[in-house]
Amino acid sequence: MGNTLNFSGGPGALPVAVLNQARDAIVSLPETGISVLGMSHRSDWFLSILDEAEHNIRKLLDLPDRYALAFLQGGSSLLFATIPMNFATRSFAPPEYVSSGYWSSRASAEAGRVGPCRVAWSGQRTGFCDLPELDALDVAANAAYLHYVSNETVEGLQFAEPAREVRADVPPLIADMSSDFLSKPVAVERFGMIYAHAQKNLGPAGVTVVLIDRALLERIPEGLPSILDFRTQVTHRSNYNTPPVFAIYVLTLVTRWLLHDIGGLDAMQRVNEAKARRLYDTLDKLDDVVTVHAARPWRSRMNAAFTFGDERLDAAFIEAARERGIVGVEGHRSLGGLRASLYNAVTLDAVDTLAEALTEFGLQRA
């Protein structure tokens, strides 16, 4: 069955061409004749991979030089703690957090363990099915930063792009883009920091990409443990301690695929929009028997969370889907129901198969 009909919320599907190269590299890398799993992180080969990974991401995003780029470990969850440790200093008002779902609530809860923070907006009252307009939020201009999660992986909610203009009355924007990074272009200039773990659109688990405006690095207080201070990996070009060589290698293969096979992020966005349209059109046609969690304007192009109405029916759909080779459509444990994730490597053909399975199952219940 391989990877082709994997709708998992993460780790997610990776491009078949990348998996084939990764398989070969585990046995023997064409460039070196030894397994990628035994390559030294100080080897010329790996240093060139690190350079290429950075170069490719910079090219895909058209990233201005003023942003430092680093590959970190510890996942996005470690960043929930290290972002306030690095940036919520006494010179600023407490950081502001948008609490729009499971992951952003985890981020703000963690920040609260580090020091004071303020929840600028919460979707809890309405069951996390809608989002605010970022640019209309009432936040303190002198707050350390404003944090949000661009795509709520669990609830299937996705923010619209914030306006491009950098505003003096808004603190630096910090976005967890773990589940939509490199799925579409992004106006990077608007952000103080962007971070994303790899295991959705970029590669296997084990590496997290961070982009940080160098002006923010100046704010970091002295005295943090070196490994938690963002300047450490930036200064050591992501090679201060042993990085996850394999994960960074596969991520590099994915960036090559995005640049050369897909043709960049505009092209990737077109494919992703087409996939999402196909899925939501199917769900909307079944609206007598299916409920989509997200309010319409905020529906995510990456994750659709929905339900046939009760646990028994959802379980029956998971089984019916499995018979067609579809896997990974169970909802997150915190929300239940169903979820189909449409990350970059999920093909339109795979979405067609899912749409057929949904239609057949749904019409039997209508």
Among the listed residues 234, 183, 221, 214, the one whose alpha carbon sits nearest the alpha carbon of residue 343 = 183
Is 277 annotated as ligand-binding?
Answer: no
Question: Least separation, in Å, of the C-beta of 144 and ligand PMP?
Answer: 20
Question: Least separation, in Å, of the C-beta of 103 and ligand PMP?
Answer: 4
Is 307 annotated as ligand-binding?
Answer: no
Catalytic member of 180, 184, 200, 314: 200
200 is catalytic: yes
Is 353 annotated as ligand-binding?
Answer: no
Which CB atom, from 21 or from 108, has the smaller least distance to ligand PMP? 108
Beta bridge partners of 299: 157
257 is catalytic: no
Is 103 annotated as ligand-binding?
Answer: yes
Contact residues toward ligand PMP (CB under 6 A) are 10, 75-77, 103, 149, 153, 176, 178-179, 197
Which CB atom, from 83 or from 286, has the smaller least distance to ligand PMP? 83
What does the alpha-carbon distance between residue 4 and residue 325 come to, in Å, rounded to a whole number?
A: 9
Which CB atom, from 67 or from 80, has the smaller least distance to ligand PMP? 80
Q: Which residues contact 271 (CB under 8 A, 6 or more apart)?
A: 262, 344, 348
> Which residue number places its CB atom closest to ligand PMP?
75
Under DSSP, is residue 196 helix (H, G, I), strand (E, B) or coil? strand
Let me know: does 306 contact 292? Beta carbons within 8 Å: yes
103 is catalytic: yes
> How many C-beta neighbours within 10 Å does residue 40 have?
12
What does the alpha-carbon distance between residue 340 and residue 185 come to, in Å, rounded to a whole number?
A: 22
What does the alpha-carbon distance between residue 275 and residue 273 come to, in Å, rounded to a whole number?
A: 5
Let me know: does 126 contact 115? Beta carbons within 8 Å: no
Question: Least separation, in Å, of the C-beta of 105 and ligand PMP?
Answer: 11
Q: What percent of the chain is helix, strand and coil (3-state, nearest 5)?
A: 40, 15, 40
Tokens, residue 342: 């449409």
Which CB atom, from 101 or from 362, has the smaller least distance to ligand PMP? 101
Which CB atom, from 72 or from 313, has the smaller least distance to ligand PMP? 72
Dihedral sign, Cα of residue 308, residue 313, residue 318, residue 320: negative
Query: Is the backbone of residue 275 left (phi > 0), alpha (psi -120 to 50) or beta?
Result: alpha
Let me know: does 158 contact 301? Beta carbons within 8 Å: yes
What does the alpha-carbon distance between residue 160 and residue 328 come to, in Å, rounded to a whole number?
A: 26
Question: Least separation, in Å, of the C-beta of 191 and ligand PMP?
Answer: 15
Which CB atom, from 10 or from 171, has the smaller least distance to ligand PMP? 10
Is 241 annotated as ligand-binding?
Answer: yes
Question: Least separation, in Å, of the C-beta of 104 and ligand PMP?
Answer: 8
Question: Least separation, in Å, of the C-beta of 353 and ligand PMP?
Answer: 24
> How many C-beta neighbours within 10 Å does residue 35 have?
13
Is 42 annotated as ligand-binding?
Answer: yes
Is 158 annotated as ligand-binding?
Answer: no
Alpha-carbon distance values, 152 to 9, 123, 131, 277, 303 (Å):
11, 12, 10, 18, 8
Let me know: does 321 contact 329? Beta carbons within 8 Å: yes
Catalytic member of 121, 176, 184, 229: 176
Q: Which residue ranges make up the annotated binding site for L-glutamate?
A: 42
* Binding residue numbers for pyridoxal 5'-phosphate: 103, 153, 176, 199, 241-242
Active-site positions read: 103, 176, 200
